[in-house]
């Protein structure tokens, strides 16, 4: 059986998770909405390195206080819509992990990190344009809390939870 890549995401506070999950339920094509709303830090970490990855996550999360993430706007994905996110602690954490895991990173994960949360993807372009306009109209920046990191195994569509790591309180 081939090794399935690991995905690392940001853990959101419960209210934010529910809010973004609801938006995905409303706007994602149902047959493609297979995972909860998420902020991806890494798309494809090697499963063969699971133990050192988990060790690094435990160490980083235990020394990283929970922090605020600001949704500063929305952007088009062409066939979808995502919230643009701003959080300097997230940028630092992701950069530290990218340095630690540099030899394992795929070209996608070596690219610049632009934090976002997708609420619609692979939709009809007209539906994507309509949602973008609807969210942009009267958009007011808002905050939510980042509470940890979650590691997932990619299963050719759906994801399997592997581990969750809370930030220090």
Q: What is the pLDDT of residues 3-50, one digit of tens each?
A: 899 999 999 999 999 999 999 999 998 888 899 999 999 999 999 999
Taking residues 72-88, report their average pLDDT: 96
Cα–Cα distances (Å) from 24 to 42, 68, 117, 120, 121, in that order, read 21, 22, 10, 6, 9
Task: Check if the beta carbon of residue 56 is closer than 8 Å to that of residue 63.
Answer: no
Q: Could you read off the pLDDT of 99-137 as tens digits, one per residue?
A: 999 999 999 999 989 999 999 999 999 999 999 999 999
CA angle 65, 38, 135 (to 5 degrees): 110
What sign results for the dihedral spanned by CA atoms 106, 34, 158, 162? Answer: positive
- In the DSSP assignment, the letter for residue 168 is B
Q: What is the DSSP string of 20-45?
A: HHHHHHHHS-GGG--S----EEEEEE
Q: Is the predicted pLDDT of residue 1 greater than 60, yes or no?
A: no
């Amino acid at each position: 059986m081939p090794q399935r890549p690991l995905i690392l995401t940001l853990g959101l506070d419960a209210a934010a998770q529910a809010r973004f999950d609801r938006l995905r339920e409303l706007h994602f094509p149902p047959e493609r909405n297979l995972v909860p709303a998420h902020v991806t830090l890494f798309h494809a970490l090697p499963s063969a390195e699971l133990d050192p990855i988990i060790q690094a996550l435990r160490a980083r999360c235990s020394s990283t206080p929970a922090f605020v993430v600001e949704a500063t706007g929305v952007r088009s994905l062409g066939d979808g819509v995502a919230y643009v996110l701003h959080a300097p602690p997230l940028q630092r954490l992701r950069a530290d992990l990218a340095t630690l895991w540099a030899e394992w990173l795929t070209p996608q994960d070596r690219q610049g990190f632009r934090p976002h949360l997708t609420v619609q993807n692979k939709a009809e372009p007209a539906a994507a344009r309509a949602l973008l306009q609807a969210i942009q109209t009267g958009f007011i920046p808002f905050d939510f809390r980042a509470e940890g990191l979650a590691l997932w195994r990619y299963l050719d569509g759906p994801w399997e939870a592997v581990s969750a790591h809370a930030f220090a309180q």
